[in-house]
Structures are given as structure tokens and as C-alpha cells.
Amino acid sequence: MMRADVIVVGAGPGGASAAYHLAKRGRSVLLLDRARFPRDKSCGDGLTRFTTHQLDEMGVLDLLPDAPTSHGARVYMRGKGFRDYRYPDDPNPRRQGRVVPRELLDAAIVQRARYAGAEVYEEALGAQLLRDDDGAVNGVVVQHNGVTEELRARAVIAADGASSRLARQAGLITTAPGDIGYAIRGYYTDIAGLDDVLEIYMPLLDPTDRYLLPSYGWVFPIAPGQANIGVGLVRRERDANVRDLFERFLAELRRDARFASMEPEGEWRGAPLRFDFRPDRCSAPGLLLVGDAAGMISPFTGEGIGYALTSGRLAAECIDASLRTAGFATPDLSQYSAALARRFTGYFEAGRESTLRHKLIWHVLENTFQNEKPLFNICRRAALFPEGIGESYVQEAFEDVTSALAGNANATDAAVPDALAPVRADLIGVGELLIATLRENWPFLTRVLTVDETVVGMPFRPALLLLICGRLSSESGLVRRDVLVLTAAAVEMGFVAALAHSSVGEDSVRGEDTLGSSAHWGNRFAVMVGDFLLSHAYAGSTAVAPGIGREIASAVAVASEGHLRGLRHAYSADLSTREYLEIVAQKAGTLFELPCRLGGLLADASPRAVSALARYGRHLGIAYQLTHDLEALNGRSSELGRAIGSDRAAGLYDFATVYALQNGVRNEMRSALVALRDGEQGADERVARLVRQSGGIPVAMENAKRSVSEAKGALQGVPDGAVKDGLLRLADFVGKRSLGQGV
């Protein structure tokens, strides 16, 4: 006799989330845990916005009204200072992070599961899996109230932690004990001056002071003057002892005046950590793994609660859907692994590889920590915060042009003209192709390259231009969607290859990239990623037509040469505005021209229209960089803009700065830029003041306006219709980004 539709073993965040979502769907659920709630648990207690959003949807935050908020994270890199990652301003406190002791959090989630209809057995041990005649899991041997009994169910969810007894019984965990990490934490009081952010320290030294370990420390404020402090060791190396590591971390903190008088409160608690998440090893017939039991923990920050909540919901959705069609047969739960792969590609793979090859990822993070080059910024954000800082990375990195395409500032996807409405579905198709290509080798790139159903709107990016221009064929009734999507994916990879190559530092250009240089790891990483993407862009586009692959390779080569040309002028006071615009045309103009030209070719447009689209793209690219650089003066900058834009601190000057060096304030500008290069305090503000004083900003605006006008003029060679209207609106969007806004 079936005891319930589903038995969930383990009532932590993952298990309780699964029980809640199953009960909400009308399923009978038995939730087991070996402890009695409330109970303490080793954890950092930090909840990101990604996590609190899920808790709010479940009604859990209503049970935790006094939980302190956090407004982002502060990451310290040994010897490199720190970087702040603040959540976007939001008046709704429910959209901020939280710090909640697990004793309170887990009890609240279990309570919500009870309210939803789940039955809860406390002090109940799920000791052993039960199977049917075909070997499928159909229950659990449970020890409860001094009685051992066999409880049957249609499906079982193992949420029994990193040391999951049930997952090992099912053969889903093969990680050797030496490859399992460990974390330890304690509560401390009498701490002064903590900010409302989660502090993360990485990496830590071993107790001998000789080796950097794949590790991290944290300080998460839980109340005024109080914090949860701990360390996590990703993998046991050099016989490192986590308690010794924690002692050393505490000693280092005490050198900071804020922690000089801190005192422990209660005992330390520790727990094992697994970083071996593999979607294909999270399910077996009748059994699913969630949360820590599935190895879903970030090796860079220790984040795990949000992933546990999500995996619990996905498990509930999969089981519920399968039970609706299974009849009396064993439910087919194979879609769970596919759902995990779609949802979490790029979250854990880079981290799992770093436990084996941390000399790459960890060294890249360390050596490029203060480097603003686009590839390193992507790597840093994707490794540390794969769920984004309050929104998806694609939404952070690229501007949404839905309203521009619709000609309505308040437009939604539904308001986009019918002829362009399929473009969003095509962008999702591009994302699926990119995931398939990148998942194994550079999965973190999928976080910034891919658009999925969770991304709102239409992000402005090369693939969008190609897909819009390619819709010219739809007006004559011919839509080659598969070819468009495949080529758009190749163009995206070509663009990011150029982005990667543009991240190579000037030391390499000057032949100074030695093993001892700070650029060493970053430059080699950039070349590896760029070459990988370019080869796959060529291979993918050749499947459409050999000429397209050559077009992409040629465009990337021209853009890269433009980047190198700019590097050769780094810190130069003799670069003219004319040559600067030539470099912009070579870099940005080429990368925008490529998708527009290819889109026209794939649409079987006339030679006149293809040429017009190419000219449109080139002038749009020039305008985009000029307006991006103007926006950057006000601290606004998109990832696409940073990829092709200027970097004063690296000696790559924007138009207005080049103008100032040639007109009126030449000597003062030279002095200010030297101060900026040397990192003098206030140098950036001094440069900005001189740029404004020189009159360079209005001249840059005029050049941007001229480029927008030339882009729109080029479209006279394109047939009237929705495609042309959309491209005209995109040109207006680029022109309005900073012009006339008091830059």
C-alpha cells in the first residue's frame, strides 16, 4: 500500500521546497527529517536576492519579518583589494537579500510545507531505499518513534545533504572522500562597523603561509555587532585542516579594527561540501536528488540555498507532470535531469573544473580581479554570482530594445510588430545552440550569451541585428529560420571571440607577457577562449555556407586589428580624432556591419539592399561606441559597450579625451592622465573636468549624431516595411542613449 505519492527524505531548503510545491499541486507528500525543528545547521546564513525571491513566492518571508536585509556582496581578493557588488536600488525590502540563521529559516520553510498540506515526520531517519521488481525506487525504510517500517511511494526525493546515504545507495555519488570539501562556521559578537553586505574573502592561505588553497571565507552580518563567520575548503589539498584554516582566518580578521574585540558565541559547527553536480547523476528510476545531495554548491562563494530551493521546485514539477500520465506504471522522471541542465548550465561546471584545475580559474580571477576588460568582468561575475546581482546576467549586460522596436516607451514583447515578433523565439533558439556548443568547455559563458524564457524583452546584441535583417525575407513569404538561428549563433561566438581577443593586455602587445607578469593568466585565458569560439563560429557557419565562415573570420580579424591598433596608441597624446574614428570604424563598425550584411544575404535581399544594410551596421556601430563612451562619463555602461569601448585607465581614450589632448587643455590633460595611470586619488574626476572644459563632449555628440544620420540614410536602399522601420528605431535608440541628457 502506498503511504504517499512522494516521500521526501530531508527537510532542509531543498526537501521542504519540494514538499511545498508538491503539496500545492495536490500531491500527498511525506516529509522526513532526522532532527526536530527548529534545529541548528552549519551554514553561512546568507540569502541572495535570487534566494529571497523564491522564499517570498512561497510565503516564507512572512514568517521572518525581522530578518536583517543585505544589499549586495563585497568580495575581497588576497592582495588585490575588494570589489562591491550592490543590488539595484529597490524600495521593496522583499527584493533585497537577507541573513537568516538556518535554525529559523529551515523551520519556516517546513512550516510553509505543512500549511500547503505536506505531512511531516520529525526525528525520522530514512535509512534505506526500497525497490520494486524492476529495480525502480518505490519507498524508504524509516526509523521513527522507535519503530522501523517500510513506507511506499510513487517517487522518492533524496534531500539528505552532501553525505546523502540514499544517493550513495543508488550509485549516484562516486566522489572520493578526498575530493569532498568542508566548511566550518561560528557566531561572533562585539564586531564594529559592519556594512549591510555579505563579505566574501578568497582565496585563503594554508596554515604554513606557503600555499593558496581553493577556499573562501565569509563574514555575514546577522544583527548589529554580530556576524556569522566561517571558511569553506573546496577540496582537501596539502593535508589542509579546515579548523586550522578557520583559526588562521579569524586571526587575519582580528587585524582589522572592526574585528579586534570580537568574541565567539556558541560552538563552531561544520559540514561536508560537495561540488560534483552533474544533471545526469541527479536521477534514477523512482528517485531524484535535490540541493546538497545533488552537489549544488558554488565553490567560489558557498551559495547553495537558492539552488536547493530551485531544484526542489523542479523536482516537484517533474514528478507531478509524470504522475499525471503514468497511470499505474513507474513514473518517468528522466526530464528532471534535462530541466536541471537547462536551468543551471554555466552555474557549477566552471567551479567543478576549478577543483581540478584551479590554477586556471582561480588564477584568472586573482590576476584580473581589478581588470575591467569585458571577458574578465564576465568571468568574474559568472563565477562569483552566476544568478546575477538581482537580475539575470543578460539583463544586466545588454540593453532591452523592446520599446524601441515597438515605437512605444511602455511596450512589452506583445507590442513588437508582427513581422518582428518571431525574433525573440529565434534569440532563444540561438541560446540553445550556444549552450550545446559551450556547455562542456566554457560553460560560464552561457550565462552572458544565452537568452531563455526567464529573460524579459529583446537584448541589443549582434544576433538581434542579424535576425531582424534576416526577416526581410518574411515580407516575401520566405523565412529560413533554421539558417538564421545557426548563423546568428555563429556571429555571437565570433563577437565574443573578438571580445576575448580585445581583453589581451598591452603587455602582450609589447612582448612583455612573461610568467611573472600580472597579465599572464588573463592573456592566455583570453587567447584560449577567443580561439575556441572563433573555431566553433567558423565550423557552425560553414554548415550554412563556406562563405559565411570566411565573412565571420575576416570581420573578427579586422576588429582585432583595430583593437591592436588602439593598443599601439595606448597612453599616446598624439592620437588625432580622425585616426580615433578610423579605429572605431575598424572595431565597432565592423562588428555591427557583419550581422546586418549576413542577415541581408540570408534573406536573399538584392545587392543594393545588402550593401545598404552593411553601411547601416557600420555607421550604427560607430554611433554606438561614441554614445557608449559619452554614457560612461556618467557612470552608465553596458557590457556590449565595454566590449568595444574605451578604457582611460588602460590608456585607451574616448573621443572627448582625445579631443581634449589636441585642443586647449593639452598639457593639463597629459598630467591628469599620467595621474590616472598611476592610480592617484581624484585623478578620474580631474580628467572628467578637463574633458568637459575642452568642449570635447559636444563635438563627440555631433559625431554620434552624424553617424546615426548616416545609418538611417543608408536604409534608403532597403525596401519599406517592418524590418526597415525596426532598424530606423534602433538607430534612434542608439542616438538617444546619451545625446541631450546633459552628459
Q: Indicate which CATH number applies to the domain containing 269.
A: 3.30.9.10
CA distance 630 to 4: 62
In this structure, are 339 and 260 located in the same domain?
A: no
Confidence of residue 739 (pLDDT cuts 50, 70, 90): low
| Separation between Cα atoms, residue 114 and residue 22, nearest integer Å | 11
- In-domain check, residue 743: no
Distance separating alpha carbons of residues 534 and 34, to the nearest angstrom: 53
Q: Is 434 contained in some domain? A: yes
pLDDT digits (tens, 9 = 90+) for 214-232: 788 999 999 999 999 999 9
Q: Please, which pLDDT band fits residue 194 given cuts at 50, 70 and 90?
A: very high
DSSP string, 182-211: EEEEEEEE------SSEEEEE-EE-TTSS-
Residues 268 and 287 in one domain: no
* Structure-model confidence comparison of residues 514 and 151, the more confident one: 151
Q: What is the pLDDT of residues 371-397, one digit of tens each?
A: 877 788 877 877 777 665 544 555 556
730: nearest Cα among 710, 717, 706, 711: 711
Q: Is the pLDDT of residue 507 over 60?
A: no
Asked which of 344, 374, 401 is the last residue of a domain, the reply is 344
Arithmetic mean of pLDDT, 540-551: 81
Tell me, yes or no, whether 334 lies in a domain: yes
Q: Are residues 649 and 668 in the same domain?
A: yes
Is 249 domain-assigned? yes
- Res 298: pLDDT: 82
In angstroms, rounded to a whole number, what is the distance separating the alpha carbons of residues 313 and 290?
Answer: 9
Sign of CA dihedral 489, 398, 424, 468: negative
- What is the overall mean pLDDT for the chain? 84
For residue 551, give the CATH number of its domain: 1.10.600.10
- pLDDT grade for 743, boundaries at 50, 70 and 90: very low
258-310 tens-digit pLDDT: 999 999 999 999 999 888 888 999 999 999 999 999 999 887 778 899 999 99
- Tell me what the mean pLDDT of segment 689-700 comes to: 90
Task: Indicate the pLDDT class of residue 733, thresholds 50, 70 and 90.
Answer: very high
Asked, for residue 741, whether it belongs to a domain, the answer is no
Give the rounded distance of the alpha carbon of 116 from its chain centre. 33
**In this predicted structure, what is the pLDDT of residue 509?**
44
Provide mean pLDDT across the span 592-619.
94
For residue 129, pLDDT over 90 is answered with yes
Residue 324 counted as domain residue: yes
Residues 410 and 537 in one domain: yes
Q: Which domain holds residue 193?
A: 177-273
Give the confidence band of 368 by pLDDT, cuts at 50, 70, 90.
confident
Averaged pLDDT, 486-493: 90
In the predicted structure, residue 637 carries a pLDDT above the cut 60: no
Q: What is the mean pLDDT of residues 570-591?
A: 92
Element containing residue 391 per DSSP (H, E): none
pLDDT of residue 136: 94
pLDDT number for residue 512: 45
Residue 479 reports pLDDT greater than 70: no
- Shared-domain flag, residues 558 and 644: yes
Name the least confident of 125-129, 360-364, 468-472: 360-364
Q: How far apart are CA 55 and CA 33, in angstroms?
A: 20
Instruction: Specify whether 372 is located in the same domain as 333.
Output: no
Q: What does the pLDDT average to over 356-376?
A: 75
Task: Please indicate, yes or no, if residue 300 is contained in any of the structural domains.
Answer: yes
- Residue 144 in contact with residue 127, Cβ under 8 Å? no
Range name among 68-82, 324-338, 504-518, 715-729 with the lowest pLDDT average:
504-518
| Arithmetic mean of pLDDT, 469-490 | 76
Structural contact between residues 159 and 18, judged by C-beta atoms closer than 8 angstroms: yes
pLDDT of residue 645: 47
> From edge to edge, which strands make up the β-sheet containing 215-223?
81-86, 72-77, 198-202, 215-223, 226-233, 181-189, 263-273
| Residue 540 sits in the same domain as residue 406 | yes
Which amino acid is residue 135, in one-letter code? G
- Per the structure, how many domains does the chain have? 3
Q: What is the pLDDT of residue 359?
A: 59
655 and 713 part of one domain: yes
Q: Place 80 in a pLDDT band, splitting at 50, 70 and 90.
A: confident
Given a cut of 60, whether residue 15 has pLDDT beyond it is yes
Predicted pLDDT of residue 516: 42
Helix 666-677 and helix 655-662: axis angle, to 10°? 130
**Side chain identity, residue 31:** L
* Claim to verify: residue 601 and residue 508 sit in the same structural domain: yes
Q: How confident is the model at residue 442 (pLDDT cuts 50, 70, 90)?
A: confident
Report pLDDT for 510: 44
Distances (CA, A) of 443 to 27, 32, 348, 440: 36, 35, 9, 6
CA separation for the pair 574, 571 (Å, rounded): 9
DSSP string, 279-322: GGGSEETTEEE-GGGGT---TTT---HHHHHHHHHHHHHHHHHH
Is residue 334 domain-shared with residue 242, that is, in the same domain?
A: no
Q: What is the mean pLDDT of residues 142-161?
A: 94
Of the candidates 584, 612, 604, 602, which has an alpha carbon nearest to the alpha carbon of residue 731?
Answer: 612
Confidence of residue 413 (pLDDT cuts 50, 70, 90): low
Per-residue pLDDT at 59: 96
One domain for residues 38 and 132: yes
Instruction: Examine residue 582 and state whether it is found in any structural domain, yes or no.
Output: yes
337: domain CATH number?
Answer: 3.50.50.60
Q: What is the pLDDT of residue 644?
A: 46
User: What pLDDT is recorded for position 688?
Assistant: 84
Q: Is the dihedral angle over the CA atoms 394, 398, 399, 405 positive or is it negative?
A: negative
Name, of 316-330, 552-566, 685-699, 712-726, the range with top average pLDDT: 712-726
Domain check: are 157 and 121 in the same one?
A: yes
pTM for this prediction: 0.79
C-alpha 245/C-alpha 257 separation (Å) is 21
Among 324, 344, 364, where does a domain finish?
344
* pLDDT for residue 682: 85
Per the CB < 8 A criterion, the answer to whether 382 and 685 are in contact is: no
Domain end position, chosen among 291, 313, 344? 344
Q: Round to whole Å and give the CA distance between 99 and 45.
A: 5
Percent of the chain with pLDDT over 90: 44
pLDDT of residue 100: 94
Q: Give the pLDDT band (50/70/90) at residue 738.
A: low
